[in-house]
Chains A and B, each alone.
Chain A
């Protein structure tokens, strides 16, 4: 069964902390994505990786960075967490063909206090 696993379902961090959100997929997919989901704003792409060590900025990359050292793992890093980064974070993966959809993890609800 296809699986995208995010390391935490709920996370509470303090302002200024460095935060790591981890995502692992077991489908050998080339593409991996990080989105944040906020009410009324839909899913906004933060970063996208189409291969190991390759990345593209999405629509809202400010305040975030990513790391993809291995094909199966894609990490989102909040360098210095702020309260406006409180959100639901979704990881997804897809293969390098358009005929196959992206598969999503269950999400991490991050609260920055």
Chain B
């Protein structure tokens, strides 16, 4: 079975500061990992994904996430926050094989606030 824990329901940073949103996962088989972003009154859109091709996943708007198997983590980072990054961010995990059919499980979400 898969599960996701996002540490911190709210994160506040100043414009230009480092963004770090934490995600830890649990999976009985090699996972596929995703970060989605949801802007106010909009649907979810994919930010980036890890699918075992490379441990560092690069996404849109300068976001990155590093897959660390030993720590079961997939933290999202951005070197310099912009006001437009204010949104809700969701980490998700899925798995295939060994009886897993691709069920996609999300974390609780982290709201990012960017202060001027």
Contacts and interface: CB of A to CB of B under 8 A. Distances in A.
Interface of A: 30-31, 33, 35, 40-45, 48, 50, 56, 58, 90, 92, 94, 96-99, 101-102, 104-107
Interface residues of B, number: 24
Nearest to B33: A98
B32 A98 contact: yes
A105 B43 contact: yes
B51 interface: yes
Contact of A56 (B9, B94, B103, B108): B103
B108 A40 contact: yes
Contacts of B9: 40
Contacts of B92: 102
A102 B34 CA distance: 9
Contact of A96 (B51, B102, B108): B102
Contacts of A96: 96, 101-102
9 contacts: A42-B109, A45-B105, A48-B101, A48-B104, A56-B101, A98-B102, A99-B49, A102-B104, A105-B43
A90 B44 contact: yes
B106 A42 contact: yes
A45 B104 contact: yes
B104 A94 contact: yes
Contacts of B96: 96-98
